[in-house]
Structure 1
């Protein structure tokens, strides 16, 4: 039993100890939750950050003013608004300056504010700061009691804002972390451009599907870059408010020259570390693991980082496997971490875990409320000023009466009353006329008053329109958002890879590194062998019911490489080359479709050892959608596969190929039109896996895309129609066009029922396999197809029956005999 002393009444009140402890702890918890640890969902700031920014605004530390000592700012914050320790305030100020802690720093600093290596900042008496452009414009523009609520400070001597009139969702933009009592928040930072796109999409369609919202805002964007592995954690965090996001540093394997007289060595070079991971601490961790014998294959480690960026070089021993060492670094060190996202913030002073949609919606509601208050206040001011100007103009229009009245009035009060009665003026208007200086009687001043009155009325009409229509208000909001995007937006720093999950299982480490030959046949089988193919028989027409499988594609790689398969539905699957059964004797091989978890037709297959950053996949759909996807996004796929692009219900993937810098692509339509494009950022920009892609060219009614070919200037194209007409055409005869053009007509069909069936890049030695709907298979040498001009209709190279059509054109990369 505890005793509570009541000093006012001089009594001691007996109180149960557990009741007093419960009440006191609850008050303390709410004080920590509301007043210290959690950000507000509206402006995304904790009280200490809000008070720092407002104190600097009061000091006039705008971006165009000189820097001021941080000690002065901290002193103002402590004395006026935040009665806590000076070091905690300075630490919060430092984080607002650091570009490796904040994605978009709200303050600009001058001096030593620490480093990514956990070096401490200089003391506040040495460093200087002022508001950054982002902090001043986005958070403090138009701040007044008219736009946001103000409240008394801790001693009632000052007024401070309860929230800042944020024009962007700072909570998502810079993120926030904090530990309260019984709860915590950990919001990752995001890219400004993506957030603005998501906000505008939600304004246009409040019922926007989650899939579309996740396309516009694909994931966090950390200030230190790195790579997010997989999207499961992102989806969980965005839809439920909580999820684990796997974040990796960026690492590459390079050949380096260690020193004079020494042989070249392989090295793992780290160029970006995960968010909030110290380089020096990480290097110490690696050194300890090497000394303990838990990390093998490392000969030396050097920190070559400078002002231009991070570069940590890990030299490997000659016998070391770089990928194995890199996997060990991911597993044993913070080169890979899990960011536990918790989207928790204060909503009406109540802590609430929210989804991404809810966070954006709460910000939009707050921004609409702020704009409404701002325009309402402006309307009151403009209306009051228009009222005064109208009285001045009325007095100037009857100036003789006003002068006569003033000349004969005994005092100012009488003159004021007589002005109101004679000219029908209000009390405010009469007072302004009496206070009007003589220079207002000049012609120029009259004209200025008339112009001002017209401008005031015009602005009042505009404000009435904005306040009377929510749609008009939303248009202004979208315009403001686009303006901020143009001014402050930048490119994404953090890459999001296509892997769904991350595993450090060493299931493939025991696979021997053996050169393997993969042969893909026209019937959809795959053969794997460790020897090269034999030359086949001469071309001839065969019966598909009796024919051996013809090899239409050959790929050489290692048994440890990945076999990347793309299906007609736009999904990508990956398996190890070693998982393809070895072919023995006269076996036709293994059905490729049987190696996939879902039996879908396969459009393209690629053997990949290292997923190069400079290589992209070019994807083309039946309805003419085209997109370029970084090959690195397909690294570390799981058996479930992933989507490579978003397809409409009646669309499908028909073609895919690797492209590099300088490549061109020629697209072909069934109507005989070709379009030649550069496969670069301007014509075919890089997109994420979930994007639908751009329209490649305009299709006419009844026309569709039938394929494409990656070309250079000297490449020859083979064009084959459904009725067996064909010609060879040099790619340089086609002009370089823009995406969305009509293209060039290269096949005037002699038969109305004919259409272009296939296109392929060929050489005179290339052999083609033609399939008809009869069904028939025909092998044809590209040398027998005549080279013709752009306007020629082609020569008949295959005789088809009246109702028979060619349906497929395949390049035969390797000729094989009966045994393959």
Structure 2
């Protein structure tokens, strides 16, 4: 009998068969992600197990050990370490660009610190995973398969509403093949999907404009063109990635001379900070890197910061160049877009990944529509049966009362009234309260709504164009809900030398040196204290400028944010009526006073910067209204200001644009878009003067000395000016913290020289108007208080009132208002005393 069970076979054939089975098991069951939902089997099983446990974002955290136990016992009979490692990676914000899980506890760090044991950590689903991966699971959108022992059912793929393969990327090593897909920005990927839906023949160049490159969770910089095209068009390529570093002067110790230092704030993706510092120290000790005196890790919860202090004879540019050349601060990311397509591994281009996902998304959408149609049809059948029974109520009561049992009653209803079995069952289960007139009306309303929904679903199922438009709307909603600013900056070219130089102050305090390599998506940020710095999208997003914030001491809020692409021309107006071009190309992540970027004649007490305006580039300003403190005004076209600023830039000197009377100063500059029709000027006494912007008025104001706009009372000053539309609104604020919004239409038109009208009534004699500002598209406005605190309010917090209204207080009693900031293309700069005497003051 033993010989009957022995089957002679070739060793070569058995090895080939066994190895192939093992290889396919690893490829399909463990190492490679599915192109449809972008998940490996273990990741998919973790998410599904947590979905079954009810660990939604609004529920409490649950121990990771419970989740791992469920995954092992029901779906994934492998080692617990593999499951826990996969869970941890989906929590880590430095590993996943869009984490699918939320964690509570120690889940490791960029220093390669291991996470705590699973019995200590807790987790739950992130909103993105709950809404965009698992939200449609109960609507028959995907097939389910039996688990390893046939006791449970699990989804073969999750009904992903977004291509997670691109959003979070993936790394995996299979048998004879590997995948290494970089993460991308959600907003850019959605833009690419929408463009392909609207134009399936979209060119590769247009697609690469929408999805220009990876977006790593740790930030960094990518030179455009460095392997990106090959990786996206062929599915394989090498992408150059480097960290972000800048040069600054640091104080080694009390009483010691300041030294130059290279400060690293972002590292390439998947680079361990601790290992990089260790290897860097080894190279310094071995003499392979010279000019470095000390290396300090000053990272904290605010972000990464590694300070590399230089020796006195160290050349900052050369040291930074050597760091990029000799260390992993600049490295290559080997992109391999390999994933499972119909259960088979395939190397895909970027376009093919998006196309396969869209095909999958259309199939899941069709199944969801059919599922919804079945549910609606079933409910509509029941509602129609109930309405039919209510129209023949007496007959129904007679049939039911005469039937000996429920089954006979159901049969009688079906025969006598023509009801279906489902309708008859619903009639028998109908409670007596359904017999009221209100309940009957509710059923009729429900029937109408169900019929309308049924018609809409039929339209979507029968018309692909309607389905495509619905899919585009859903993608745009997901983009609005989950998209975040890009973290990895794309540079126009790769600079092999240092991207910046340390700003050496001259005897006058002005900055010299070579301009910094500006990232494509960087923004120039003017702080509340008037200092300028270069901010990354990640740094701007951390400010949460679109969210309200309570009154508290916090870092300097921005007065102005200007994108560096397309290149803007930033013009600074001085108190003596002069302008100068701001040399913003020399900015760095560390804030510096505006005086360092201006000609030497600006910045003193007599002729200090008053206002800053961003012109050219993507700005919409067509003209500028300049007001002096004695009520005179001059109008300048934006094109003329740009021409004069260019002259100032080339000569290095200021240019006078407003000839002021002796002892007078420029106090306000109002930016006027092309469609502006009204100019409103405000005084400290609460008077408002409305002037309609007409060609005649502009001609009167177009002279070097300007023309008087209004007569000022004793001790009255001009506190604000705004250009706006006739249907717009103005925000008025007093020094005691009272606010209101005033419709411009409430103001009567005036002529030059008029007194105007009272726009706001003061409740206290000591109070006065601080200023007025046009209500902008930005959702919030920022308040700065006299005790150096700040807060943000949505526009709705300021009530809409007519002229003479006193407004409402938004600040606690006794708190003085110092300034109001509304982000836009123009910013009021702080007084020189404030800016010079409180350089490190924190609001």
- After TM superposition, the score normalised by the length of structure 2 is 0.63
Give the CA deviation at 1:745. 7.3
The structure 2 residue matched to 1:257, chosen from 251, 255, 258, is 251
Aligned-partner Cα distance in 1 for 2:698–2:45: 74
Give the CA deviation at 1:240. 1.1
Give the CA deviation at 1:209. 1.6
Aligned counterpart, 2:242: 248
Query: Does residue 134 of structure 2 align to residue 140 of structure 1?
Result: yes
Equivalences for 1:666-815 in 2 at 5 Å? 680=614, 684-685=617-618, 710=642, 736-738=671-673
Give the CA deviation at 1:144. 2.7
Closer, same or farther: CA 83–209 of 1 in aligned 2, 3 Å: same
Give the CA deviation at 1:730. 5.5
Give the CA deviation at 1:503. 4.9
Aligned counterpart, 2:50: 56
The structure 2 residue matched to 1:314, chosen from 296, 308, 314, is 308
Closer, same or farther: CA 659–380 of 1 in aligned 2, 3 Å: same
Give the CA deviation at 1:416. 2.6
The structure 2 residue matched to 1:73, chosen from 67, 91, 100, is 67
| Kept in 2: contact 1:114–1:120 (CA 8 A) | yes
Deviations 1:67-98 (A, max 9, x none): 11000000000000000000110000000111
* Structure 1 residues not aligned, in runs of 5+: 1-5, 509-555, 565-611, 616-625, 633-655, 665-676, 686-693, 699-704, 718-727, 750-760, 762-820
| Kept in 2: contact 1:388–1:428 (CA 8 A) | yes
Give the CA deviation at 1:319. 1.3
| Kept in 1: contact 2:621–2:638 (CA 8 A) | no
Aligned counterpart, 1:224: 218
Query: Does residue 264 of structure 2 align to residue 270 of structure 1?
Result: yes
Could you say what the CA RMSD is over the residues aligned between the two structures, in angstroms?
Answer: 4.0
The structure 1 residue matched to 2:565, chosen from 609, 613, 629, is 629
| Kept in 1: contact 2:184–2:213 (CA 8 A) | yes
Aligned-partner Cα distance in 1 for 2:118–2:417: 63
Aligned counterpart, 1:287: 281
Query: Does residue 268 of structure 2 align to residue 332 of structure 1?
Result: no
The structure 2 residue matched to 1:180, chosen from 170, 174, 184, is 174
Aligned counterpart, 2:428: 434
Give the CA deviation at 1:454. 1.5
* Structure 2 residues not aligned, in runs of 5+: 500-510, 518-532, 537-561, 569-580, 588-593, 599-610, 624-636, 650-655, 660-665, 678-692, 705-843
Deviations 1:420-449 (A, max 9, x none): 222122222222222323332222322222
Deviations 1:745-771 (A, max 9, x none): 79999xxxxxxxxxxx9xxxxxxxxxx
Deviations 1:183-221 (A, max 9, x none): 111111111111111111111111112222112111111
Aligned-partner Cα distance in 1 for 2:296–2:567: 30
Closer, same or farther: CA 261–410 of 1 in aligned 2, 3 Å: closer
Aligned counterpart, 2:14: 20
Aligned counterpart, 2:29: 35
The structure 2 residue matched to 1:45, chosen from 39, 46, 50, is 39
SS in 1 for 2:84: helix
| Kept in 2: contact 1:107–1:135 (CA 8 A) | yes
Aligned counterpart, 1:469: 463
Aligned-partner Cα distance in 2 for 1:706–1:451: 59
SS in 1 for 2:36: coil
Aligned-partner Cα distance in 1 for 2:584–2:281: 40
Aligned-partner Cα distance in 1 for 2:422–2:647: 84
Aligned-partner Cα distance in 2 for 1:323–1:238: 34
Deviations 1:500-527 (A, max 9, x none): x5657x9x9xxxxxxxxxxxxxxxxxxx
Closer, same or farther: CA 479–442 of 1 in aligned 2, 3 Å: same
Give the CA deviation at 1:736. 2.4
Give the CA deviation at 1:413. 3.5
The structure 2 residue matched to 1:152, chosen from 146, 154, 158, is 146
Aligned-partner Cα distance in 2 for 1:280–1:716: 48
Equivalences for 1:279-428 in 2 at 5 Å? 279-428=273-422
Which segment is superposed worse, 88-97 or 430-439? 430-439
Aligned-partner Cα distance in 1 for 2:400–2:109: 73
Deviations 1:660-719 (A, max 9, x none): 79999xxxxxxxxxxxx98649x845xxxxxxxx89889xxxxxx9977537899999xx
Deviations 1:476-509 (A, max 9, x none): 212211222222111111111111x5657x9x9x
Closer, same or farther: CA 716–251 of 1 in aligned 2, 3 Å: closer
| Kept in 2: contact 1:678–1:736 (CA 8 A) | no
Aligned-partner Cα distance in 2 for 1:563–1:119: 34
Give the CA deviation at 1:266. 0.4
Aligned-partner Cα distance in 2 for 1:90–1:563: 44
Aligned-partner Cα distance in 1 for 2:77–2:563: 56
| Kept in 2: contact 1:715–1:730 (CA 8 A) | no
SS in 2 for 1:629: coil
Closer, same or farther: CA 132–735 of 1 in aligned 2, 3 Å: closer
Aligned-partner Cα distance in 2 for 1:124–1:405: 64
Give the CA deviation at 1:408. 2.5
Aligned-partner Cα distance in 2 for 1:320–1:176: 41
Aligned counterpart, 2:191: 197
Aligned-partner Cα distance in 2 for 1:179–1:355: 19
Deviations 1:92-143 (A, max 9, x none): 0000111011111110111110111111000000001111111111111021
Alignment coverage as a number of residue pairs: 582
Equivalences for 1:639-654 in 2 at 5 Å? none
Aligned-partner Cα distance in 1 for 2:204–2:676: 33
| Kept in 2: contact 1:233–1:245 (CA 8 A) | yes
| Kept in 2: contact 1:714–1:730 (CA 8 A) | no
Aligned-partner Cα distance in 2 for 1:48–1:306: 33
| Kept in 1: contact 2:140–2:367 (CA 8 A) | yes
Structure of higher CA gyration radius: 1
Closer, same or farther: CA 628–253 of 1 in aligned 2, 3 Å: closer
Aligned-partner Cα distance in 2 for 1:133–1:614: 28
SS in 1 for 2:425: helix
Aligned-partner Cα distance in 1 for 2:312–2:174: 51
Deviations 1:705-745 (A, max 9, x none): 9977537899999xxxxxxxxxx975999962337889997
Closer, same or farther: CA 658–264 of 1 in aligned 2, 3 Å: closer
Aligned counterpart, 1:96: 90
SS in 1 for 2:216: coil
SS in 2 for 1:13: coil
Closer, same or farther: CA 98–457 of 1 in aligned 2, 3 Å: same
Deviations 1:777-819 (A, max 9, x none): xxxxxxxxxxxxxxxxxxxxxxxxxxxxxxxxxxxxxxxxxxx
- After TM superposition, the score normalised by the length of structure 1 is 0.65
Aligned-partner Cα distance in 2 for 1:48–1:180: 14
Aligned-partner Cα distance in 2 for 1:734–1:298: 48
Query: Does residue 475 of structure 2 align to residue 481 of structure 1?
Result: yes
